């Protein structure tokens, strides 16, 4: 693969992506349409993300709970926008234990309805508020076009659901959770994101406001990496979530929901991966350090002994380390562990042993470095941290280079896209003015496939005119092709 | 509730159980048949169990993965015994995204078939073996009679699935995992279990051998707390899981599976709970220590200040501690936190503050004790550990008292059951001889509702004659009424 070509070509990029996650042994296809199996390395990445997210959720007073996966059809009908948004994608259980069910049961696409029903029982007084729960679970959306991790019929996610006394507190919660997403995605997954408000057409079905963090992939397309919704009292009214207020009045609770999913795994690959395969931030890499014996090892048993010592020292200190003492050649191993995204390779042979050195190569760098064995642990810790920072900086540079601020008309955008194609460049994102009319958003989409990503909280610059109609801009918006 | 009565009366015991888990805020019912919601305290218990199990799985070389929840109907048909066992309980997805599916998809009751299909792709050579995976997930069994945590239409569990070169290694794996279950259930959940082999009629559908750990509830009934199956080459043959052996021959892999579920939560309640509500082993109690101010606190602000210090010290040291400074009366709080199963209550008022003391009461003991504040952390740690041990010993004494070794005929069993009813005692379990005929097992069940639990690995005593037909006993078996 030549990166520039692949990035700019949709088919090539998809081919590269699928090859990368398969050779990296993250997933496999299954005979069930759009449902993948997570292999251990793929699932372990998710476990690391889960632990980090969960820690932040608990630190901010949230607790986990679990709600039924099957949702009665009548529940969906209680919130008009919600059923309109989700009904085209629902799988239905219609039979169980040999009998046809009286009411169809949907496989949850999200749990606002079931949770709304239960919260109406659990919340009676302002003393029960705020109610701050989260669920880790599988969900289902029967989508036409699927792509492993990014868009699958079944996926894994977390969904937070909170209820509050007033709008202000509920809105604060949505911002707090979006900030946690931004923090984890940037600092833990090394993916820079733009945070902002979704336009009405891109809102969650049933939300008053949807906020998102959006990430740029290496092909210049956007992934909505996390969303946080202020639901107003819409679900409270639909499910009768009322509480007796401090003023002794029956009031509807203000609710929120927020979610991130296994599409974060796909995003990590599409942001950091390269032509050799997986590149994973050390925080989530199943293998942070792989030790590879080189040179005539069999004649020098003390080399392997020393490697086992090094392995033990790293493992004892919490490093996810592997010693590859298999029969394969060193060259084979170098490739294999690059493909699988091991963060650091340590190469060690008889001469290194003699000199008291080891050779280290970071997955994201070309050059090898030599260090003293006595410094093993501190070198590894420093190098992992340095790699984590480099990955973020590299992704941020790429994103900044491909965030275009100077495209102000639809004609300019079309020219820009055309030029990108001709020069094997990615079209990236544009920051553009928008008058607020859905027709303008639609026109941009129809003519360029660019959709609104979000209205950034902190726009780099403010735009005065709508890119589509030329009228006065009400908002400055990120537009991009998106997954 | 008077414990003796409740234990011996099925309806009373069930009523007590449901009241206990509802007042303890562990769960709630939902409108979907047999599906419950796990409230935060109920789910937190599961999180603690998960963490402990998962640690043992990983220490023994297992990794987590995730497989699709929907399983094509044709998969089930590949293993005759398996479909016979599970088809009566399956819910089916027949429609998705507005279209009728060509093939029905079952909600997984367990994943041997899907995993068998994938393992046939993932396993090619002896180098790929052993394959040691585990999955944490939701599963579905549409049962007629449900009871929260113990038997629900949807439940949470872990299912391990491994593949090996030979029978011996696979059997070792099944024993290793059963031993882990026994270890966690006894040492972490403080529930003593009998480990042994299931009789053929009680085997997992499709297994060559099923092994189980069985626990006695306070009503004398049994819960199968964990199972481990040696599947032979049955699933390997059904799904073509073949590998090229060290001798260069195509051979079927020997597979195992093993599982524990959220019924462990139900078991904990039914083993340790009492007439005041939940009693939870400190290892899993969401609240290990609750600090309760007593006496005229408002006039003595330094009492609350000191409590906050104590709270901070315990929290800093990893104790799950709560300070209940709400408006309610101390008496209300004592009851509330007993009901919710807080392991230790620390009561602290102005006089205690003056004396530099605090008063401590363990959930499972009647008496309070007084300690010096300077000893807070070490006292708490000691008391939590002591309570953990007491709960196990208490449960073990109860089980041993109700494990009957001297019942050798069906007539004696009937007399025993009758006498138990008359004396408000639980009938408990009996260790009895069995000739090996399924008709004898069936007769015992028909006439006494006692079913075979398992053939213990280490029988306390060996029986010479079948309790049912009087012929020579082939096995010594635990019989009991079971959930
Ligand atoms: Zn416009
Ligand atoms: Zn017999």
Could you give the count of Cα atoms lying within 13 Å of B139 in the half-sphere of its Cβ? 25
Contacts of B39 in chain A (CB under 8 A): 65, 122
Q: Which 51-80 residues of chain A touch chain B by CB within 8 A? A: 63-72
pLDDT at residue B297, as a whole number: 77
* Span A215-257, pLDDT tens digits: 999 999 999 999 999 999 999 999 999 999 999 999 999 999 9
The pLDDT of B42-59, averaged and rounded, is 98
**Cβ atoms of residues B97 and A142 within 8 Å:** yes
Judged against a pLDDT cut of 50, whether residue A1 lies above it is answered with: no
* Span A412-457, pLDDT tens digits: 999 999 999 999 999 999 999 999 999 999 999 999 999 999 999 9
pLDDT at residue B344, as a whole number: 98
Judged against a pLDDT cut of 90, whether residue A79 lies above it is answered with: no
pLDDT at residue B9, as a whole number: 84
Cα–Cα distance measured from residue A226 to residue A214, given in angstroms and rounded to the nearest whole number: 7
Judged against a pLDDT cut of 50, whether residue A111 lies above it is answered with: yes
Residue A312 CB coordination number (10 Å): 12
Instruction: Tell me whether residues A118 and B28 touch, CB distance under 8 A.
Output: yes
Contacts of B47 in chain A (CB under 8 A): 64
pLDDT at residue A258, as a whole number: 98
Q: Which 204-243 residues of chain A touch chain B by CB within 8 A? A: none
Angle subtended at Cα B163 by Cα B161 and Cα B165, rounded to the nearest 5 degrees: 160
Instruction: Tell me whether residues B68 and A93 touch, CB distance under 8 A.
Output: no
**Cβ atoms of residues B400 and B417 within 8 Å:** no
* Span B303-346, pLDDT tens digits: 999 999 999 999 999 999 999 999 899 999 999 999 999 999 99
Instruction: Tell me whether residues B69 and A138 touch, CB distance under 8 A.
Output: yes
Angle subtended at Cα A32 by Cα B74 and Cα B101, rounded to the nearest 5 degrees: 70
Q: What share of chain A is helix, strand, coil (3-state, %, to 5)?
A: 40, 30, 30
Q: What is the pTM of this model?
A: 0.97
Q: When comparing pLDDT for A424 and A211, which is higher?
A: A211
pLDDT at residue A428, as a whole number: 97
Q: How far is B153 from chain A (nearest CA, A)?
A: 10
Judged against a pLDDT cut of 70, whether residue B2 lies above it is answered with: no
pLDDT at residue A4, as a whole number: 57
Q: Please report the number of interchain residue pairs, chain A to chain B, with beta-carbon separation below 8 angstroms.
A: 147
Give the closest residue to B451 by CA, choosing from B467, B465, B462: B467
Instruction: Tell me whether residues A107 and B93 touch, CB distance under 8 A.
Output: yes
Cα–Cα distance measured from residue B259 to residue B435, given in angstroms and rounded to the nearest whole number: 29
* Span B271-294, pLDDT tens digits: 999 999 999 999 999 999 999 999
Q: What is the CATH number of domain B289-382?
A: 3.40.50.800
Domain ranges of chain B: 3-272, 289-382, 403-480
Cα-based distances in Å from B134 to A153, A262, B163, B452, B474: 22, 18, 12, 28, 35
Judged against a pLDDT cut of 60, whether residue B4 lies above it is answered with: no
* Span A112-123, pLDDT tens digits: 999 999 999 999
From A28, A96, A117, residue closest to B142, measured CB to CB:
A96
CATH of B403-480 given 3.40.50.920, 2.40.70.10, 3.30.365.10, 3.30.110.30: 3.30.110.30
Residue B226 CB partners (closer than 8 Å, separation 6+): B178, B181, B182, B185, B193, B212, B213, B258, B259, B260, B264
Cα–Cα distance measured from residue A336 to residue B122, given in angstroms and rounded to the nearest whole number: 17
Give the closest residue to A261 by CA, choosing from A226, A312, A215, A212: A226
CATH of B3-272 given 3.40.640.10, 3.30.930.10, 3.40.50.1820, 3.20.20.140: 3.30.930.10
* Mean of pLDDT over chain A: 96
Burial class (CB in 10 A: 0-12, 13-18, 19+), B145: exposed
* Span A348-394, pLDDT tens digits: 999 999 999 999 999 999 999 999 999 999 999 999 999 999 999 99
Judged against a pLDDT cut of 70, whether residue B5 lies above it is answered with: no
Q: Looking at the complex, does the CB of residue A100 fall below 8 Å from at least one CB of chain B?
A: no
Q: How does residue A3 score in pLDDT terms, banded at 50, 70 and 90? A: low
Cα–Cα distance measured from residue A294 to residue A296, given in angstroms and rounded to the nearest whole number: 7
From B37, B63, B133, residue closest to A67, measured CB to CB:
B37
Instruction: Tell me whether residues A107 and B92 touch, CB distance under 8 A.
Output: no
Contacts of B90 in chain A (CB under 8 A): 96-97
Contacts of A93 in chain B (CB under 8 A): 91-94, 107
* Span A301-316, pLDDT tens digits: 999 999 999 999 999 9
pLDDT at residue B458, as a whole number: 94
Strand order in the sheet with A99-107: A70-72, A99-107, A91-96, B91-96, B99-107, B70-72
pLDDT at residue A454, as a whole number: 98
From B43, B94, B104, residue closest to A66, measured CB to CB:
B43
- Ligand 1 centre to CA of B448 (Å) is 79
The pLDDT of A74-100, averaged and rounded, is 92
Q: Looking at the complex, does the CB of residue A92 fall below 8 Å from at least one CB of chain B?
A: yes
Cα-based distances in Å from A378 to A316, A384, A390, B166, B465: 13, 10, 18, 43, 68
DSSP-assigned letter for residue A294: -
Q: How far is A251 from chain B (nearest CA, A)?
A: 23
* Span B346-399, pLDDT tens digits: 999 999 999 999 999 999 999 999 999 999 999 999 999 999 999 999 999 999
Q: How does residue B1 score in pLDDT terms, banded at 50, 70 and 90? A: very low
Q: In which region does residue B433 sit, left (phi positive, over 0), alpha (psi from -120 to 50) or beta (all else)?
A: beta
């Amino acid at each position: 693969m030549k990166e520039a070509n692949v990035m700019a070509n949709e088919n090539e990029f998809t081919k590269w992506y699928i090859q990368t996650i398969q050779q990296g042994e993250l997933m496999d296809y299954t005979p069930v349409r759009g449902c993948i199996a997570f292999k251990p390395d793929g699932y372990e990445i998710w476990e690391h993300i889960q632990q980090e997210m969960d820690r932040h959720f608990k630190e901010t007073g949230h607790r986990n709970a679990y709600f039924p996966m099957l949702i009665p059809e009548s529940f969906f009908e209680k919130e008009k926008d919600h059923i309109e948004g989700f009904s085209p994608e629902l799988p239905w259980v219609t039979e169980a234990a040999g009998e046809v069910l009286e009411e169809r049961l949907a496989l949850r696409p999200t749990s606002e309805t079931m949770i709304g029903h239960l919260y109406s029982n659990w919340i009676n007084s302002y003393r029960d508020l705020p109610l701050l729960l989260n669920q880790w679970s599988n969900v289902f959306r029967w989508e036409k076009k699927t792509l492993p991790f990014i868009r699958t019929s079944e996926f894994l996610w977390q969904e937070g659901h909170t209820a509050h006394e007033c709008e202000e507190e509920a809105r604060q919660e949505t911002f707090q959770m979006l900030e946690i997403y931004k923090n984890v995605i940037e600092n833990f997954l090394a993916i820079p994101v733009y945070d902002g408000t979704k336009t009405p057409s891109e809102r969650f079905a049933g939300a008053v406001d949807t906020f998102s963090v959006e990430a740029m992939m290496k092909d210049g397309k956007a992934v909505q990496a996390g969303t946080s919704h202020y639901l107003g009292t819409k679900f409270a009214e639909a499910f009768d979530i009322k509480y007796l207020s401090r003023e002794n009045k029956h009031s509807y609770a203000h609710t929120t929901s927020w979610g991130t999913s296994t599409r974060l795994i796909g995003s990590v690959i599409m942001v950091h991966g390269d032509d050799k395969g997986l590149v994973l931030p050390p925080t989530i890499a199943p293998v942070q350090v792989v030790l590879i014996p080189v040179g005539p090892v069999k004649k020098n048993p003390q080399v392997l002994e020393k490697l086992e010592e090094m392995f033990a020292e790293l493992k004892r200190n919490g490093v996810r380390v592997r010693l590859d003492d298999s029969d394969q050649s060193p060259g084979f191993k170098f490739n294999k562990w690059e493909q699988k995204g091991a963060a650091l390779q340590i190469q060690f042979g008889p001469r290194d042993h003699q000199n008291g050195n080891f050779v280290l190569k970071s997955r994201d760098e070309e050059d090898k470095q030599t260090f003293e064995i006595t410094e093993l642990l501190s070198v590894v810790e420093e190098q992992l941290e340095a790699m984590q920072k480099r990955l973020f900086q590299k992704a941020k540079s790429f994103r900044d280079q491909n965030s275009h601020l100077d495209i102000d008309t639809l004609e300019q955008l079309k020219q820009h896209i055309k030029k990108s194609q001709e020069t094997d460049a990615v079209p990236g994102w544009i920051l553009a003015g928008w008058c607020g009319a859905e027709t303008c958003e639609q026109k941009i989409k129809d003519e360029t496939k660019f959709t609104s990503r979000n209205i950034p909280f902190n726009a780099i610059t403010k735009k005065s005119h709508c890119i589509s109609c030329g009228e006065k801009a009400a908002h400055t918006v990120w537009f991009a092709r998106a997954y």
